[in-house]
Chain A
Amino acid sequence: MVRDVRMHTSEGFTPGLRGPGSGSTATRELTTIVRAARRSGRVATTAKALAAFALVLATSSDALAQRSLDAQNRVVQSNLPPAAGERGGPGLAIKAKKILTVPYEGEQFVDNAVLVVKDGKIEAVGPARTTPIPAGYQVLDVGDHWLMPGFVDLHSHVGGTFDINDTVYLTNPGLRVQTSVVPANEMFKVAVAGGVTSVLYIPGSGVNCGGQGILLKTGLEHFEEARIRMPGSLKIAQAGNPEGWTVGVGRSLMNWNTRDMLKRGKAYALRWKAFEEGRGEKPERDLEHDVFRDLEAHRTQISTHTQMYQVVMTTITMLSREFGFSVYIDHGEMAGYKASELAQENNVNAIVGPREIEIPTRQFIQWTGSNPEAILGIAAEYRKRGMKDVGFNTDAPVVPQEELLVQATTAARYGFPTRDLDTVRGLTIIPARTAGISDRVGCLQPGRDADVLVIVGDPADPRCAVDTVFIEGKKVYDTALERRRW
């Protein structure tokens, strides 16, 4: 546990909230508590973080808050200084044969390069010859290994307890999956070794709208530090799955009901917008529809479980065109690629997986091959039809969280181009940008979080193992010190 405590003794540790997540009362209260604790000079502890997490789990009752403060008083002192690269620690410079920086635009990699990290953020990246390493920085040379940003998976269900499929109502925009988060859980620990450092943990697709997902760092041990953004997305499953879980619904009712929810949410968000712009009365707070304020302001997106052609069409026409929300195809598979051009026109990105191939005429049910057809790569078909930004997701645990790379492997095998680091981008910057968090993760650029993989080579090649993983400058996995997790 001593190792866990270290993080919190650092001066620079700011458990402040980022982004639109601050809308939640429980978390806002938590911030106040944590800040108060810091002001009073107490050393933050694991117990505090655990208590804080318990608080988040359990709404904001006063009794609980008091208990949490009591817990904070049982201080565990640690004298371990933060390591190089971590918040509050000295700087860290990592030298490598190749750094895949993969920004959205521009040069995608640097050879014989160095990455400079301070306080968990990237300070500089460039050729070792021309990039100065400030005095006092620790230098780590990883030799022939490569550096690259950690992978981002926008469709994961393994962020915590599995009770993420409330199937009482068809649409539940007010439910938040963050109540079930178990940070750095066992599956995440393996995922880190598979290179996955950020995930969108979302409700299941049992109903049309399961609630709000949360963007998390996989390898950080406390809720506050693991959270990237809340709400990470509003999860909508348009069709293809909810019918199987809910009795007696068909496509028409589902679409009508989803549209009805969007209509109410949009109206609520517009009332707030009017108030904020001084054009109306202050609306009454409605927790069920509060997420639509974030959607209206494009601070979060709708991640849509959508796969079949006509369902993808509905995603584009209803969610993007009609209501104007930021939306992306998540869990993109089957013949959805046939709507690729229209998706591209409406800035709807495709995050593909867990299915990566398609047998066009018989789908995948009882296909005998007696009527020969080609085996198509779904990512390749999206790209062939002009989809610029194609990313990959796992739907973990359908595909194990650590096997995100296999989605890229198989996409490339079945025709997705690899020439311009397309597979690497599909694991990193594309999903990061799609989820609106590319200012923090997805590429190795100055100012971004130092979520860095030290990898043997091509990340889409299963043979290339991940050797070391840093998340926000903190070493969370190191095969020199422990057995390979994956």
Chain B
Amino acid sequence: MISTNRIERFVVGALLALLAFPVTGHAWQEGDEKKDESADKKKEEPDKWFVVKNAEIHTGTGSVLRDAMLVAKNGKIDEIGHDLDVPPDAKVLDAQGLRVYPGLVAISSAGLVGQATSDFGDTVNPFNSNMILGLATGITTTGIGNAAVKLKRFSIKDLVVRDRIFSVFSWSARNPSGKRSLREKFQSASAYLRDYRAWEEKVKKDKELKEPQKKNVDTTVLAVLKGESTAKFNANERDDLLGIAHLAQEFGFRPVIEGCVEGWTVADELGRAGAMAIVTPRDRRPKDEALVRDGGSSIENAAILHRSGVAVAVVPGTESVDLGGLVGRDIMHLPIEAGFAIRGGLPEDAGLASITTTSARILGVQHRVGSLEVGKDCDLIVVDKDLLHYEAFVQWTVIDGKVVYDKQKELYFAHIRPRADAPAEPKKLDKGETEPKPDADKPKEGEEPKDGEKKGDEKKNGEGDGEKKGG
């Protein structure tokens, strides 16, 4: 799949045949080291080219290019089109018969880049197994805590795309004084901002004029009104949603509403307020039987919100990787959750957007990720079929023009519908990983009976071997 120029081939030719994950891992680690050495040296380095060819490219902006190519230079998308020139030393990924999508942007997740939600430079574990499962899902960027972070495997460099995105507020009918005090904060901040803007104009003529007093102005609210951060609410009930919509319209900001379960009952109001919603289509909330009006959860929530102009991002019910086995509702099933929004009537393209472009927009990182466009980061996934189909498996995940996940080289899913080009005997260890693995000896199976029937035990061993060989 991945080829290099002729010289490199000569040098590492024999190695290539043996090693499953030849160039990317090594080359890119070397690259990192070089970068670390000195900034000057970096400039002298040759450009790094990455090419995907023969792919059906779903750019995420609505267009689909068949049998197309994507060329990335130094981690940024350089060109997308047909019959493009392949730079001589480019790493080429042949995606014949496969589809390319932008890397998914999980609006929020937990545990994919370690357990902490801030100070990622210190706390991220780039060898985290949950990160691999996140990449296997196709997630390349995720909102976590108050930041947008890339799933940069093996490295912690430049993984934060944006920090301090949201200002989180509470607006709840259960806390009327809280609502009043938030309103007052918006009022005073808004008045201050008006005075300040007026002062800015007047001070040009009258240099002596005193700047308006910032005393008692809530800086968080001020940041929202100045557009420096995004107001985020967690609200589900209709009355709260209406209150947020009115607040937003009155003070002129676009709220992000997480939950938004009853949003479908007030979708027009939310649309007029320019609200953006983070929804879980399978959220279940019974209708309050005391009310005559519509209420409770609806599978149509995302669709109705979308029709009313609310930007909708989808997040699964469980934001972390859940291997408990009750599958289908954790972060590993992000596209399946988007499928449920489509079940409720959301158009397919909006369904794809809900886990790519829209979530990138809500996180304020749409200039870097979420779609495949020239100038954006080369974060993409190669998938064996329609991404939103339940059988679709991510074959490769690429971040900044580097392959960081290859289904056939990892142990988690290599055995499921193996790729045609896959080696007959998958390697046990990932070549990209530098950390020595714990011994691969067959661990004791707590679940296996020690006193079980001999026949069963024999079978188990036989099958165990078979699985590894068969792949």
Contact = CB atoms under 8 A, between A and B. Distances in A.
Interface of A: 186, 308-310, 313, 333-335, 338-339, 341-342, 354-364, 367-378, 380, 385, 398-400, 403, 406-407, 409-410, 412-415, 418, 460-465, 483-486
A240 B351 CA distance: 40
B339 to A, nearest CB: 4
16 contacts: A310-B448, A310-B451, A335-B445, A335-B447, A338-B459, A338-B463, A356-B327, A363-B447, A364-B325, A385-B463, A410-B328, A412-B390, A412-B391, A418-B391, A461-B389, A484-B299
Interface string B314-345: 00000000011111110001001001101111
Contact of B449 (A309, A334, A406): A309
What are the nearest 10 A-B pairs in CB distance? A369-B129, A355-B325, A310-B449, A462-B339, A372-B411, A463-B342, A406-B328, A410-B327, A409-B390, A463-B339
Contacts of B340: 462-463
A273 B97 CA distance: 64
B389 A356 contact: no
Contacts of B411: 372-374
Contacts of B440: 371
Nearest to B470: A384
Interface string B121-138: 000000001101100000
Nearest to B450: A310
Contacts of B410: 372
B323 A359 contact: yes
B202 to A, nearest CB: 56
A371, A376, A418: residue with the most chain B Cβ atoms closer than 10 Å? A371
Contact of B324 (A313, A355, A461): A355
Nearest to A415: B416
B411 to A, nearest CB: 4
Contacts of A341: 459
A461 B339 contact: yes
B445 A400 contact: no
A239 to B, nearest CB: 11
Contacts of A400: 282, 284
Contacts of B412: 372, 374-375
A354 B417 CA distance: 23
B345 A415 contact: no
A484 B345 contact: yes
Given A374-B411, A463-B339, A309 B326 contact: no
Given A375-B323, A484-B298, A413 B448 contact: no
B428 A372 contact: yes
B88 interface: no
Contact of A399 (B326, B391, B416): B326
A356 B448 contact: no
Contacts of B456: 309, 313, 338-339, 342
B391 A358 contact: no
Interface residues of B, number: 60
Interface in B441-471: 442-449, 451-453, 455-456, 459-460, 463, 467
A199 to B, nearest CB: 18
A399 B327 CA distance: 10
Given A313-B453, A335-B447, A385-B463, A462 B415 contact: no
A371 B390 CA distance: 27
Interface string B417-438: 1000000000010000000011
Given A462-B390, A463-B388, A358 B325 contact: yes
A100 B328 CA distance: 25
Given A360-B445, A375-B323, A484-B299, A461 B345 contact: no
A333, A338, A339, A485: residue with the most chain B Cβ atoms closer than 10 Å? A338
B79 interface: no
A475 B417 CA distance: 40
B62 interface: no
Given A313-B453, A338-B460, A356-B325, A374 B391 contact: no
A359 B342 CA distance: 30
A39 B280 CA distance: 54
B46 interface: no
B156 interface: no
B282, B428, B444: residue with the most chain A Cβ atoms closer than 10 Å? B282
Given A313-B452, A463-B343, 9 more contacts: A309-B449, A310-B451, A310-B452, A313-B456, A354-B326, A355-B327, A367-B323, A372-B129, A462-B339
B173 interface: no
A465 B298 CA distance: 13
A483 B345 CA distance: 12
A309 B451 CA distance: 12
Contacts of B286: 186
Given A361-B445, A370-B438, A484 B414 contact: no
Contact of A377 (B130, B416, B445): B416
B343 A369 contact: no
B89 interface: no
Contact of A414 (B416, B442, B455): B416
A483 B294 CA distance: 10
Nearest to A186: B286
A464 B413 CA distance: 26
A123 B139 CA distance: 50
A357 B415 contact: no
A359 B327 CA distance: 12
Given A309-B448, A484-B345, A460 B390 contact: yes
B325 A461 contact: no
Contacts of B327: 355-357, 410, 413-414
A368 B131 CA distance: 12
A445 to B, nearest CB: 28
Contacts of A370: 129, 438
B317 to A, nearest CB: 11
B391, B444, B453: residue with the most chain A Cβ atoms closer than 10 Å? B391
